[in-house]
Amino acid sequence: MSALIWLPGQFKTGNCLSNLLCVFLLVIPFWCFAQASITGKVVDKADGKPIPGATVFLNNATGGTTTNKDGFFTLTAIKNGQYDLVVSCIGYETYYQRVIANNGLINLPVIELIFKATELHEVKINPNREEYLKMFIQEFLGNSANARRCKILNPDIIAVNYSNKANTLTAATDDYLEIENEVLGYKVYYKVDKFSKNYSSKLLYYEGPARFEELKGKPSEQKKWLKNREAIYKGSSMHFLRSVFNDNFTEQGFKVLKLTRKPNPNRPPDSVLRAKIRKYTVNTQGHPNWRDSASYYMAKMRLPKTTDYLLTTPLAKADFAAPAEDKQLMQLQYKDNLYVIYLNKAGVYQNRVANNLHNASDNPSTVITLSGEKAIFDSNGIFADPADIVFDGAWGMSGVADLLPVDYMP
C-alpha cells in the first residue's frame, strides 16, 4: 500500500485546495482497507453456563481467539467479506454461523454449544494403514512442489479407510490436523470432517474448518514467504473470483472461454463395456480370440468418456456471472463448462488449448463445472458451498499445501 508523506513547506498555507487534497489522499488507504469486529458470548446449551477457553475463529482465515472466563470473545481487524464463524471446544459439537463483515461492529446473539454425544472416529490399526495414509496425504496436500515440503505433524489422529468395492478412499479426524507449510510460512489447523477420493471418477472432495497462523521467521524468510504467497495467489481460483467480483478479470490476466462436453462417440457406455469384458475374461469357451476381444474392450474402457469442444471467443462477465439475491455476493451461472486461462508475466497464455486437460504441467488452465444451477461466492474469492463446483485441471490438482487464508491480500 502506498503512502503520502506530508513534509512541512510542501504546500502553501494559503492554498486550501492543496491542503484538502493532502488530507483526502492520507485518508484514502483507511477507506480502502476498512475493517470490522465481531463480539459474542458462548454458553452451554444445557445449563446456560458460560464456556471459557472455547476457540473462536473465522474459517480459513488467519488468527483467532478464545473465550474468557465469562464466555465472551472479540475478533478484531476483520477484512470485509463473508465468513463462516467457527466455535470449537473439546466435548462439544463444532458451531458454525455465516457472518458478513462490513466495516462495523457485529454483536452476535448468545452462541449455545451442544454436548457431543456422537462416537469418535476409530483410528484402526491394519496392515494397509501406512499405504492408505500416504494416499490421503498426497490427495489432501496436493500434487504441487509445495506439497512435498508440507508436514502433517500429528498424522496419528487420521482415521482412514479404503473400499475396494467403491474404489474410494475416505478419511476424517476428531481433532485438528497441524500442518506446517514452510513454503508459504503458515501453520494450518484443519479438522477433516469429510474426505473422499473416488479413483474411478477421479473426484476429490474434502471439507472442514481451518485456521491459519503466521510462522515466525527471520526477515529474509518472511520476505521469501511473501514472494511465495503472491506466486501461489496469481492465477489461483481466489484471484480469479476476486477479479470477477471486481469486474476486472481481463485486466488481471484471465481469459474465460466456453467448453462443451459431449459423450465420446468412440467409447461405448460403461454397462456395455463391463458386460463385454466379463464375457471375454470370465467365460472364454467358444471364443477363440477371447484375449484380443478382451484387450479391445479394455482399451475402449480407458478412452475418455467425453469429447471437448472449445469455443475460442472470450466470454464477458455477464455470460457467466451475476449478482446473487444478497447483493453483497455474486454467483456463477452458465450452461456447459467454463474454461479459464491465466496470462503469465511474459504476456503469453500459459495454456495453448491442448487436448489433455488433466496434466497440470502441460496445461495449467482449469475447467469449472457447476454441480447445480449456480455457485455463490463473495468478495474474498470463496465459494459459499465448495460442493457447488468441480475443478478439472490446475485448480483441481491443488491441495491444502497451496491454500491461502481468505483474508490474504497480495
Provide the β-strand partners of residue 214.
186
Q: What is the reported pLDDT for 354?
A: 34
Residue 20 has pLDDT above 60, yes or no: no
CA atoms within 13 A on the CB side of 125: 1
Q: What is the reported pLDDT for 105?
A: 92
Q: At CA 183, angle to CA 256 and CA 88, rounded to 5?
A: 85
Give residue for cell 491461502: 404
On whether both 170 and 186 belong to a single domain, the answer is yes
Higher pLDDT, 395 or 346: 395
- What CATH number is associated with residue 64? 2.60.40.10
On whether both 215 and 188 belong to a single domain, the answer is yes
Higher pLDDT, 21 or 176: 176
Task: Sort residue 17 into left (φ over 0), alpha (ψ -120 to 50) or beta.
Answer: alpha
Higher pLDDT, 365 or 14: 365
On whether both 18 and 94 belong to a single domain, the answer is no
C-alpha cell of 38? 465481531
Report which residue type is found at 403.
L
Helix (H) or strand (E) holding 29: helix 16-32
Q: What is the reported pLDDT for 120?
A: 63
Model confidence band, residue 121 (pLDDT cutoffs 50, 70, 90): low
Give the mean pLDDT of the chain.
Answer: 84
Q: What is the reported pLDDT for 215?
A: 95
Specify whether the CB–CB gap between 48 and 347 falls below 8 A.
Answer: no
Q: What is the reported pLDDT for 22?
A: 44
Helix (H) or strand (E) holding 315: none
On whether both 367 and 226 belong to a single domain, the answer is no
Question: Which domain does 174 fall in, by range?
Answer: 122-232
Into how many domains does the chain fold?
A: 5
On whether both 256 and 343 belong to a single domain, the answer is yes
- DSSP 8-state class, residue 50: B
Give residue for cell 500459459: 350
On whether both 152 and 294 belong to a single domain, the answer is no
Specify whether the CB–CB gap between 336 and 261 falls below 8 A.
Answer: yes
List, as one string, the DSSP characters of 214-277. EPP--HHHHHHHHHHHHHHHTTSHHHHHHHHHTT-TTTTTEEEEEEEEEE-TTS--HHHHHHHH
CA atoms within 13 A on the CB side of 144: 23
What is the separation of C-alpha 92 from the centre of its chain, rounded to a whole number of angstroms? 26
On whether both 353 and 375 belong to a single domain, the answer is yes
Supply the pTM of this predicted model: 0.78
For the segment 162-185, the average pLDDT, to the nearest whole number, is 95
Question: How many other CB atoms sit within 10 Å of the CB of residue 93?
Answer: 15
On whether both 181 and 317 belong to a single domain, the answer is no
